[in-house]
Chains A and B, each alone.
Chain A
Amino acid sequence: MANTRRALMWQYALIAIFAVVYLAIGSLVRNSYYQLMMTLVLIWATMGLGWNMLSGYSGMISFGHAAFFGLGAYTMTIAFVKFGITPWLGIPLGILVGVVAGVLIGIPTFRLRGHYFALSMLAYPLAMLYVFEWMGYQEVSLPMKRENPIEYMQFTDQRVYMVISMIALVACMIISLHVERSRFGRSLLAIKQNQPAAEAAGINATRWKMLAMMLSAGMAAAAGGLYAIILLVVTPQTVFGALVSAQALIVALFGGVGIFWGPVIGSAILIPLAETLHAELGNILPGIQGVVYGLAIIVIILVAPEGIYWKVRDRVLARRARTKVTSQPRPAEQISIAAGAASLPRPAFGQPILQLDGVSRSFGGLKAVDDVTLSVPEGAIYGIIGPNGAGKTTLFNVLNGFLAADKGSMRFAGTEIGGLKPHEVCACGVGRTFQVVRSFPRMTVLENVVIGAFVGSKNDDEAERLAYEALERVGLADQQALAIAGGLTTKHLRLMELARALAPRPKLLLLDETLAGLGHDELEDILRIIRQVNRENVTIVIIEHTMHAMVKLADHFSVLDHGRLIADGAPADVVRNPAVIEAYLGKKWMDRAKDQIA
């Protein structure tokens, strides 16, 4: 799309301007201490970008990026000191070591979540610190090579290092820029926001997280290698220490999480501040750097939890949003589909598209799903109802692949789907919405829906077309496609969720309480859209509590109570079924009703 290419060019231009201006200023600086400081800003920005690649984009907070930084530094150093290998090769070697370490650390540690992940990541560099100290590397100085310094990346003029560091930083910025705009980056964002929903939309979370870790570790190792050659002294504390990990995090957090400009901004502000304070007041106040960093994060997390970049951007956008959003012209082919759908007759029910046979799932002693057998004909709107705690959501989770069935088989369009992971189930043609809609509030509706289209498309253009098509089907294409998702009403959020599930053109749609909490008119709108989608040959299985809406919508009910199927059939029959009435209103109600009839 012309729009995005222009935006990309604009970002490139900004990066180029930044680099040129920065180096120009740097070339004017005479004092070698300030030259060093300017170089360090670039190195810490690179480190911050590395942290951002994993923790900023995917939300897995790491306290241990010093591990990769240190490995990069020591690889280069040991290669140099022990084997005489030039840093020009040593630093890339360090990057490789970092990437491998990232994979090895990632494999076990990704199974943890939240604070356990952060704490475990903390353990790795600290362990490495002790190991390196024990191995005798308390302090390693890199020797000066007077004969051919350039071959060994040794320059008397500090500014050359500035240029080298800038090249490394720009490379990382460009990589980050492309990641952000690619489906890789979007997938990471989806994982960060709501991993189950992302997996149900077809995203292979494990693969993407590992890729992020590899890039992240590589960048951190590059920063470490450069740091070592510039300072010429490496100690375990300075490269594996907690402050290194903290600095990576702080720089990114302060400047802006999840955007490649963030660490650059953060580094440009905090590093000179801390270094200057340290230089001026370092003798009287020896810990002033740390105090400044600490206060910076405390203030930031309370005032602008995602960093300065986002705070400023939100303010600017809020002011601009007061003017109306102009919509993009839609691709012409889509209009005919929208016009045609309303007049399509209801297709006759076909063969069973989904077949469950004796599916069971227990938790401890509790049978959440107990021997459920049902068959959903193609083209039907199939309702699964039952009182609270009956096992409906567990059934969906088993269908989707989030939980494994203890027993029984599930066949979708003839293929066994039991045992598949959620993103694989999605790729087969099953879409799902979730009870709690979590959108990406800063992205547009279109961008939110495109994430669902990745699994069904080979490239980003195709994904965008699919997304538009899906938005058409739910009626959001006109004004809302380019609206920011954060400002949507509940009804529109639900429709957006629906569009996201529809984007890869599934044959079966699992709707999880899509109608809950809506007012009367909103309910009618959504019911109309669901019926329309169904006419376009999408089979629908829906879990709902809102009975008066369900009896109008569904062709068929299956009633679950305590995990077992207690009734199955047309709505009118099912709601008069004594077992069902008893499940909902209690046994005594039925007894009294029977007494009155008798």
Chain B
Amino acid sequence: MTDWQWLIIDFFQALAAGLLVGGTYGLMCVGLGIIFGVMRVVNFAHGDFMMLGMYVAYYLVTGFGVLVFLGPYVGPVVGAALAGPVVYVVGWLLHKYLISRVTGARVISAEAEGHYAQIILTLGIALVLANGGLILFGSTPLSVQTPLSRESWEIGLIFFNQARTVGFIMAVICAIGLYLFLARTSLGKALRAAADNPIAAAYVGIDVDRSHRIAFGLGVGITAIAGGLFAMSQSFQPYIGFDFVIVMYAGVVLGGMGSILGAFWGGLTIGLVQQISTLVLPYQLQNTAIFAAFLIIIFFRPQGMFGRVWERT
């Protein structure tokens, strides 16, 4: 085969890899999208909730082996799914006792100051989670054991890593599930209303504080599931959250603030950018490409792909 043909195959391989990874990134960004994109709460600890999800999945599947009976193919997927509710509870508690003290209606008026406190508080939470994780879990990189990560399906000349493909499918299913929840159920609609216009929501009798709490838990729970799916094909350690914070914000901003669907596309695009950049950039700089993309979006098109035009940075 000619060099040219290899190049094309490389490109499509990168595209495929980017798509698969992007699905999980997309789910991860959807979680942040609920919190930052819709509720406008700056959550600096979002990456660490994902890290928690990874460890929950790990302990359920490999560590304590609770899900061993499901076998090495189904177990990790279920483990990832279960990471969601566990981290939901953690998020819910943190919101109730800490985060709600710096968000909510009384803070909305003093926007700059409110955000300042949110940033600092969630930074503190991030440090506690990441380092607490270091204490509890140790620094050895782990991953959820599954033979899926070593095998690939082949379509034409393109390889689709099985673990990543399963992750992609699960991510899409979760995203669709979330979408249906928000679009069709009464609770989902109440959450959307409370995020869209808290004042009007209070007037129609919605408990806005409770809604924000549930939405927060949901946001971190969804990202935790994405983490669990990730853990099938990638090793992780307690500090992985910091690496992903920019990636997640890049995805949400790219997709457009206020749009949860946009957040998914944003994450997907970031995954593609990352993988395709490996064709021209050395492996260590793949995240640099994301940062560059993030900065470019913020400077030139702050409303992202699907956001409302009055979104100004």
Contacts and interface: CB of A to CB of B under 8 A. Distances in A.
Interface string A246-269: 100100010000000000000000
Nearest to A117: B313
B245 A127 contact: no
28 contacts: A111-B299, A115-B42, A115-B118, A115-B119, A116-B298, A116-B313, A120-B294, A120-B298, A123-B294, A126-B246, A126-B291, A130-B284, A130-B287, A131-B288, A134-B284, A246-B123, A286-B134, A288-B131, A289-B131, A290-B130, A291-B132, A293-B124, A294-B127, A295-B128, A298-B98, A298-B124, A298-B125, A301-B124
A2 to B, nearest CB: 37
Interface of A: 59, 61, 63, 108, 111-116, 118-120, 122-123, 126-127, 130-131, 133-134, 242, 246, 249, 253, 285-291, 293-298, 301-302, 305
A123 B290 CA distance: 9
Contact of B132 (A59, A287, A297, A305): A287
A126 B123 contact: no
Contacts of B246: 119, 122-123, 126
A273 B139 CA distance: 22
A394 B266 CA distance: 36
Interface of B: 42, 98, 101-102, 111-112, 115-121, 123-135, 138-139, 238, 242, 245-246, 249, 282, 284-285, 287-288, 291-292, 294-295, 298-299, 302, 313
B115 A115 contact: yes
The A interface is mostly helix, strand or loop, or mixed, namely helix
A295 B128 CA distance: 7
Contact of A293 (B42, B127, B288): B127
Most chain B CB within 10 A, of A114, A119, A288, is at A119
Contacts of B245: 122
B298 A294 contact: no
Given A112-B298, A119-B249, A123-B294, A287 B238 contact: yes
B112 A114 contact: yes
B127 A61 contact: no
Contacts of A133: 284
Contacts of B101: 302
Contact of A297 (B127, B131, B134, B299): B127
A293 B249 CA distance: 24
Contacts of A127: 287-288, 291-292
Top 3 A-B residue pairs of the complex, sorted by shortest distance between their CB atoms: A290-B131, A294-B127, A287-B131
A296 B124 CA distance: 8
A116 B111 CA distance: 13
Contacts of A305: 117
B135 A131 contact: no
Given A253-B120, A296-B124, 7 more contacts: A59-B116, A108-B295, A112-B299, A116-B313, A286-B134, A297-B127, A302-B101
A289 B126 CA distance: 13
Contacts of A114: 111-112, 115-116
